[in-house]
Structures are given as structure tokens and as C-alpha cells.
């Protein structure tokens, strides 16, 4: 595996290939990232991953400075998974000057849920993903980029961006990888204390219970009441929930009418101690 740091080095390594399979990450890799590499690899003629902690998607009070940076260990895991090229730019390599041109996703998708609680988050995500796409896919007829479904809303934002800009990139959404007890794998799980790690599984359990309650309700259930009850139950366990909600998979809007025939997803975000966790379950 070749490790490169500049855009010029990356493009030199990718010269001659026609269909990159790309997995962008912020590092501190877990099995979810590695699963994406393995899924994407057969779909391209060269497998590329990036590691870059993107300042643009962090609010001033968030954990940009403390976000785990484990490049050497990450590189070993990527190489073992069959990655061909690791792009690990420094901030000055990807943003040699202030990034004043930014991608602003449609507010109907990006200002709800994560976008509501983390204002500007999806502008930062969309901007860095667009820039990484321009680095990896420049001069090729097409390719594949893989993202994990744990960041459900993010996948939808990226898909819509690719569609709107007519980018020749197929977006692969990999299933959420979980620990044996059901906790969604996340780089931020490393922040959890031992006691918090045992408690953390209750987020996925709360989402599953909310989904089952909503599906089992007769007629048209009062979802806002069910969601409030789910949040209160989680809060009684010591969590600080931002949202637990049932939404349509198609556009993440609240469903209308009977739920039986609607493809739905239950999404949640909550803080446990100092760690904010997100998860979702399609139902």
C-alpha cells in the first residue's frame, strides 16, 4: 500500500486507473471502516482510502483537537484489508488557503436532525467530500465511494450532492457494523468509560423499542408522543438525548398516515457522559 500526503502525489499514484473505489474516513478506524474497504474493493480497479480530520465539520465547542488520531495503526489495518493507496493529507495539503468556497446542501435535508443540533455540520461534510472526490476521481470516467449507514443522514446528503452535480460516482452504503451486544461501532466509542460502554447499548435498544411500538400501534399513531416517551426513558438512565424519531427513509420527513406500508427508519442521537452517540435502525 502506498501512503501519500499531497494531492499531486495522490493523482500520480492513481494515474492509469479508470475506476477508483474510495472510502473516506477521519481515521481511528474500526471494523465498520474495514468492512467498507472490503465491500468497495471488488467494485473498482484501485482501492483508495483517506484519513483526514476535517475541521470544517466541527463546531468550536466540539472535539476537533481531541479527536483520536491513530495513523500508523490505521495504515496497518487498511493494508491488511487490501487498500492500495492511503491518502493522508495534512490540513495545509487539503486546505492550502482558507476554504471560502463551500458546498451548502439543501436545507430541507440538512437542517433537520443532525443539522439542527450541529449547525453547519453538513456544509463541512459536503465541502470536504466534494474536495476529496475532486482529488480521487479527477480525469476518470467514474468510480465508487463507500459510506457507512450509521451516518444515515450523511449518506443521503452525499447521494443528493452527487446527483445534483451529476458526478459519475456510485455511492455504496454499507450496513452498520455492531459489537456483539448491538452497539454500533464508532470511532467515538473509545471515549466511553467501562461503565458507559456497558450502558451505551441502550441507545440501539431504545431505537428498536420505539420502532416496534410505532409499528404495533393501531391506526395512525401519535409519533410525537411515542418519541417523547422514548427520550424520557433514555433520560431516566442518565442520557441527554437530542432526538429519537421515526422518519421516512426516502426523505427523513415524519411519516403520515398508517405506517404499515411505509419504509421507515428510526434515528437517535444522545449524549452519554461526555460522548455523543448516534445510531439508526431501518424498520
Region for residue 197 given its phi and psi (left: phi exceeds 0; alpha: psi -120 to 50; beta: otherwise):
alpha
Query: How far is Cα 140 from Cα 142, in angstroms, rounded to an integer?
Result: 6
C-alpha closest to that of 175 among 192, 155, 160, 203:
155
Task: For 66-103, give the DSSP string.
Answer: TS---HHHHHHHHHHTT--EEE---HHHH-SS---S--
Residue whose grid cell is 493494508: 79
Rounded Cα distance, 45 and 74, in Å: 22
Q: Name the residue among 176, 177, 184 with its Cα closest to residue 200.
A: 184
What is the phi/psi pair of residue 241, to 5°?
-75, 140
Is the CB of residue 41 less than 8 Å from the CB of residue 23? Answer: no
Euclidean distance between CA atoms 93 and 62, whole angstroms: 23
Enumerate the active-site residues: 33
Amino acid at each position: 500500500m502506498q501512503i501519500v500526503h499531497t494531492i499531486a502525489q495522490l493523482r500520480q499514484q492513481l494515474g492509469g486507473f479508470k475506476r477508483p473505489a474510495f472510502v473516506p474516513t477521519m481515521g481511528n478506524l474500526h471494523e465498520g471502516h474495514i468492512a467498507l474497504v472490503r465491500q468497495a474493493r471488488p467494485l473498482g480497479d484501485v482501492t483508495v482510502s483517506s484519513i483526514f480530520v476535517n475541521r470544517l465539520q466541527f463546531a468550536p465547542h466540539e472535539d476537533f483537537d481531541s479527536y483520536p488520531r491513530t495513523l500508523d495503526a490505521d495504515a496497518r489495518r487498511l493494508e491488511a484489508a487490501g487498500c492500495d493507496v492511503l491518502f493522508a493529507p495534512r490540513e495545509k495539503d487539503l486546505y492550502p488557503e482558507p476554504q471560502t468556497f463551500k458546498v451548502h446542501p439543501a436545507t430541507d435535508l440538512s437542517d433537520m436532525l443532525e443539522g439542527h443540533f450541529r449547525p453547519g455540520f453538513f456544509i463541512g461534510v459536503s465541502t470536504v467530500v466534494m474536495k476529496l472526490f475532486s482529488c480521487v476521481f479527477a480525469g476518470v470516467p467514474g468510480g465508487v465511494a463507500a459510506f457507512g449507514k450509521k451516518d444515515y443522514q450523511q449518506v443521503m446528503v452525499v447521494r443528493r450532492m452527487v446527483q445534483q452535480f451529476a458526478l459519475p460516482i456510485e455511492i455504496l452504503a454499507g450496513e452498520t457494523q455492531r459489537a456483539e451486544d448491538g452497539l454500533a461501532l464508532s470511532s467515538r466509542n473509545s471515549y466511553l468509560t467501562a461503565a458507559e460502554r456497558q450502558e451505551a447499548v441502550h441507545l440501539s435498544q431504545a431505537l428498536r423499542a420505539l420502532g416496534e411500538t410505532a409499528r404495533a400501534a393501531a391506526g395512525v399513531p401519535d409519533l410525537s408522543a411515542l418519541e417523547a416517551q422514548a427520550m424520557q426513558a433514555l433520560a431516566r438512565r442518565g442520557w441527554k438525548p437530542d432526538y429519537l424519531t421515526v422518519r421516512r427513509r426516502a426523505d427523513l420527513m415524519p411519516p403520515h398516515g398508517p405506517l404499515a406500508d411505509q419504509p421507515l427508519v428510526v434515528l437517535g442521537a444522545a449524549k452519554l457522559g461526555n460522548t455523543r452517540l448516534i445510531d439508526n435502525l431501518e424498520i
